[in-house]
A and B are shown apart, each in its own frame.
Chain A
Amino acid sequence: MSQATEKPDGTGTPEREISHDEYDPVGTAALIGLYFLILVALWIFMYFVEFLGNDPTVIGSLMVGIA
């Protein structure tokens, strides 16, 4: 790992090293969070609006009394 912390010019002076939990990529997290919300929204749209809104739907004859 020593190479990774060296300056690219090879002078050997180490960069500031941060601990595991100090690494805090907020931008990446926000982007992934946004992707996640889009995914959830699309699922809800697809199932509840596009699929269930497309009545009539095939139902099971066993569930007939209940539904």
Chain B
Amino acid sequence: MNIHTYEKAWLAASLLLIVGFIVTITYGSVGLGIAMIDDSEDTIEPDELDEDERFAEPRVEQVGENEYEAYVVARTFFYNPDTVEVPANSEVTFYVTSGDVIHSYSVVGTNLNTMVIPGEVSTMTAEFDEPGEYGVICNEYCGGGHHDMEGQLHVVPEDEFDMTELSVEAPDEVELGDDATFEVTVENGQLDDLETTIDLEVGNETIEEAVTVAGQESETTTIDVDTADLGEGDHDWTVTVDDYDESGTLTVAEELEAGDDDE
């Protein structure tokens, strides 16, 4: 068979092109680790997400030094949690499932995009190097409110990220002379210990208490305030732990009405 020189050149060039395609895709998957989202996760009962240990409380969880897992449930027409917050320089694995119809979890302007199918758990892992805010939208038509279905993905600077939660239990009314007991619970969702101080401001007094909360634990600190020092009347109080605060008002009365004792 007599093949023309140009034809030979064309055949060689097309073969080279195909090899080039294969090389770039191989480089992407082996060199950069780019993966496809698959159905390797076990199926799940979409009507019983409330009883599933991963999806009953959709959340972000720390699983390694810079590794986080985000559990998201998509429903018509919202995501739970609405805003996923993770630190920069982290690797996050998203587990997304649907409680009703087919949705999608598409992080706008990025390659993070998955279908969300009831009964299936879509998993995708991504590295976030830089802080930034992304919008999340549903790109599978899911019903009348589809165009309003959106969420947020916030990648915050590492030093601004925490998973601290503060709750305070304090009496509303205390008899003059008694102690007012503030129960301050600090929850630390991260793996590392949290060393911080609890600032309690009540009336003109400020009380500081250092606490160390172990990783993924919570710590309750009891602070007693002598109401004799505060005097009678209403006193505003604020408990501050890092960037979180909770406040209320404490009433110190000369004599509490019978049956109105909080303690």
Q: Which residues of A contact B (CB under 8 A)?
A: 20-21, 23, 25, 28-29, 32, 36, 39-40, 43, 47-48, 51-52, 54-61, 63-64, 66-67
A64 to chain B, nearest CB (A): 6
* Contact A57 to B111, CB < 8 A, known contacts A63-B35, A67-B33: yes
A21 vs B126: C-alpha distance when bound (angstroms): 55
* Contact A23 to B4, CB < 8 A, known contacts A63-B33, A64-B33: yes
Q: Is the CB of A66 within 8 A of B33?
A: yes
A20 to chain B, nearest CB (A): 5
Decide if B32 is an interface residue (CB 8 Å cutoff): yes
Q: Is the CB of A29 within 8 A of B35?
A: no
Decide if B109 is an interface residue (CB 8 Å cutoff): yes
Residues on A with beta carbons closer than 8 Å to the beta carbon of B125? 58-61, 64
Residues on B with beta carbons closer than 8 Å to the beta carbon of A28? 6
Candidates A20, A48, A52, A59; contact of B35 at CB < 8 Å: A59
Within 8 A of A (CB), among B1-53: 2, 4-6, 9-10, 13, 17, 20-21, 24, 28-30, 32-37
* Contact A47 to B28, CB < 8 A, known contacts A56-B110, A57-B111, A60-B35: yes
Residues on A with beta carbons closer than 8 Å to the beta carbon of B34? 57-60
Sort chain B's interface into a size bin.
35 or more
A15 vs B110: C-alpha distance when bound (angstroms): 63
A52 vs B31: C-alpha distance when bound (angstroms): 12
Within 8 A of A (CB), among B151-199: none
How many A-B pairs with Cβ below 8 Å? 80
Decide if B124 is an interface residue (CB 8 Å cutoff): yes
Nearest residue, chain B, Cβ from A67? B33
Decide if B245 is an interface residue (CB 8 Å cutoff): no
Nearest residue, chain B, Cβ from A32? B10
A64 vs B164: C-alpha distance when bound (angstroms): 27
A60 vs B91: C-alpha distance when bound (angstroms): 11
B91 to chain A, nearest CB (A): 6
Q: List, sorted by A's number, 23 A–B pairs whose CB atoms are closer than 8 Å.
A: A23-B4, A25-B6, A29-B6, A36-B13, A47-B24, A48-B24, A52-B28, A54-B110, A55-B111, A56-B107, A56-B127, A57-B32, A57-B111, A58-B35, A58-B114, A58-B124, A58-B125, A59-B126, A60-B125, A61-B93, A61-B123, A64-B125, A67-B32
* Contact A56 to B111, CB < 8 A, known contacts A40-B17, A67-B32: yes
Residues on B with beta carbons closer than 8 Å to the beta carbon of A67? 32-33, 127
